[in-house]
Amino acid sequence: MLKPTRLLFLGAPGSGKGTILKRLLKRFPQLHPISSGDVLRSQISKGTEIGKEADKYIKTGLLVPDSTMVNLITEQLRELNGLNDKANWLLDGFPRTFAQAEKLTEILDTTNANLNLVVELDVDQKLILHRIESRYVHLPSGRIYSLDYNPPKVPFKDDVTGEDLVKREDDNAKTFKKRLDKYNEEIGPLREYYQKLGIWHSVSGETSDIIYPKVEKLVYEL
């Protein structure tokens, strides 16, 4: 990785954003990750006002309002000193509406810290309900497991801490359908926006093992 990398992952729920992100960090530890869903789940578990608001949207598969998301993620970027032209970071799940994208560009423009790579993970949507149903997570760390793809060493326990794994409250067939519909509604304008900026790429493949090397190559070639 030769130049500062400011990367965004787009992709349907269950497309593997979190999984690819974890692998990329092993290769490029200087990339600071911000996963919008993890940030929100942390607010929920701390019982903050933002968490209470977000919980209502997340459990029903709706998007949290744009202004809340923009403030929350900008604050995270500021905390990791990410608002400058030398910064390296990776956003997973934000922006995910056209309005969020426009607002973020406006904010990053002021400090010359623009996104320079957007990668859409394009996975067959017929595959992903099964993934969601077999996913278990360690909430405090955001570590992701799958009962069949990457099972924990001890059933239902986190590999690192030994603590219990849980199911996310939005990982059920009914809520998943709404999340997927919402994604399909929002992605068109977002894709077009980043295409016009000349930074959008799409990688496809049935498994993360096929997708990962393609993402790594894009980062190297930046």
Residue 94 or 113 having the CB closest to Mg ion: 94
3-state secondary structure of 126: helix
User: Minimum distance between the CB of residue 189 and ligand AP5, rounded to whole angstroms?
Assistant: 14
Binding annotation for AMP: 36, 41, 62-64, 93-96, 100, 168, 179
Of the candidate residues 18, 33, 82, 95, the single one contacting Mg ion (CB under 5 A): 18
CB-based contacts of 33: which residues, under 8 Å, 6+ apart?
A: 21, 25, 89, 90, 92
Active site residue 6: no
Binding annotation for GTP: 14-19, 135, 144-145, 208
Per CB under 5 A, 14 contacts Mg ion = no
DSSP H stretches of helix in 110-168? 125-133
Catalytic option among 168, 178, 191, 214:
168
Active site residue 135: yes
| Residue whose entry in the numeric block shows the structure tokens 């269950």 | 14
Catalytic option among 6, 17, 22, 143:
17
DSSP 3-69: S--EEEEEE-TTSSHHHHHHHHHHH-TTSEEEEHHHHHHHHHHHT-HHHHHHHHHHHTTPPPPHHHH
Cβ atoms of residues 218 and 116 within 8 Å: no
User: Minimum distance between the CB of residue 37 and Mg ion, rounded to whole angstroms?
Assistant: 5
User: Minimum distance between the CB of residue 67 and ligand AP5, rounded to whole angstroms?
Assistant: 10
Active site residue 27: no
Binding site for Mg ion (CB under 5 A): 17-18
Active-site residue list: 17, 96, 135, 168, 179
